[in-house]
């Protein structure tokens, strides 16, 4: 590569490191051309950008942006390096994990991952990265926690109101049922006898 070509690659890498707060450093050595192309296709489908670059150029790009910020990354820049850039912090980990299961191999090998300012070094971090919470997942959990107490209060109030209304509703049918029974049990009042009419033939003569 000429100096101009190297500078062009460095500028492209600087743009990607500035654009994404999450990137993975992987080792794709020993993968066939077909496997690399397949991996690129999977990354493309998941909106993960994959780039293969020389370690020296990657280091220069990082140093020119913030040498101290990325200091922990430099030790992972050895052998063949493929970078994976992603908005979602765990998508590259899921891609690597599923690709290895499908191909029954150990590559791509995770060398390091830089996630929102935190550095994860070593392939043994892969499982933890597949379970990392995304920003949207954390917001969803927070909303759930905030809503939970309110839901419990509302449920308690509804149950309390239902408990108050229950005796009145249950008493109404009992009262209605008791009314006909009372009517049926009440004795009929005896008829008042009429006074006998006076007989004109028996009246005393004056």
SS3 assignment for the chain = CCHHHHHHHHHHHHHHHHHCCEEEEEECCCCCHHHHHHHHHHHHHCCCEEEECCHHHHHHHHHHHHCCCCHHHHHHCCCCCEEEECCCCCHHHHHHHHHHHHHCCCCCEEEEEEECCEEEECHHHHHHHHCCCCHHHHHHHHHHHHHHHHHHHHHHHHHHHHHHHHHHHHHHHHHHHHHHHHHHHCCCCCCCCCCCCCCHHHCCCC
How sure is the predictor about 202, in pLDDT bands with cuts at 50, 70 and 90?
A: very low
Mean pLDDT of 1-11: 94
Lowest mean pLDDT among 1-5, 36-40, 70-74, 142-146: 142-146
Q: What are the tens digits of pLDDT across the range 30-39?
A: 999 999 999 9
Lowest mean pLDDT among 54-58, 93-97, 113-117, 171-175: 171-175
Mean pLDDT of 150-161: 68
Residue 28 near residue 61, CB atoms below 8 Å: no
Across the chain, what does the average pLDDT equal?
82
- Residue 30 and residue 171: Cα distance in Å, rounded? 82
pLDDT above 50 (res 165): yes
How sure is the predictor about 146, in pLDDT bands with cuts at 50, 70 and 90?
A: confident
Q: Which among 33, 31, 94, 85 is positioned nearest to 58, based on CA atoms?
A: 85
Mean pLDDT of 76-98: 96
Q: What are the tens digits of pLDDT across the range 187-197?
A: 555 555 554 55
């Amino acid at each position: 590569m000429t100096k101009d070509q190297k500078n062009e690659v460095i500028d492209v890498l600087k743009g990607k490191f500035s654009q994404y707060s999450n990137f993975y450093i992987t080792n794709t050595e020993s993968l066939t051309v077909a496997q690399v192309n397949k991996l690129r296709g999977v990354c493309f489908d998941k909106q993960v950008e994959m780039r293969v670059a020389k370690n020296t150029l990657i280091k220069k790009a990082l140093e020119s942006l913030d040498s101290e910020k990325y200091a922990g990354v430099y030790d992972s820049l050895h052998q063949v390096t493929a970078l994976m850039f992603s908005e979602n912090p765990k998508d590259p980990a899921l891609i690597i994990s599923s690709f290895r299961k499908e191909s029954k191999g150990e590559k791509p090998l995770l060398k390091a991952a830089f996630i929102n300012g935190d550095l994860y070094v070593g392939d043994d971090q892969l499982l933890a990265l597949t379970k990392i919470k995304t920003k949207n997942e954390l917001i969803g959990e927070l909303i759930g926690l905030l809503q939970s107490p309110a839901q419990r209060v509302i449920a308690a109030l509804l149950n309390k109101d239902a408990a108050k209304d229950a005796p009145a509703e249950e008493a109404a049918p009992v009262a209605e049922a008791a009314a006909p029974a009372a009517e049926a049990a009440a004795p009929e009042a005896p008829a008042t006898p009429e006074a006998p009419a006076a007989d004109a033939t028996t009246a005393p003569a004056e």
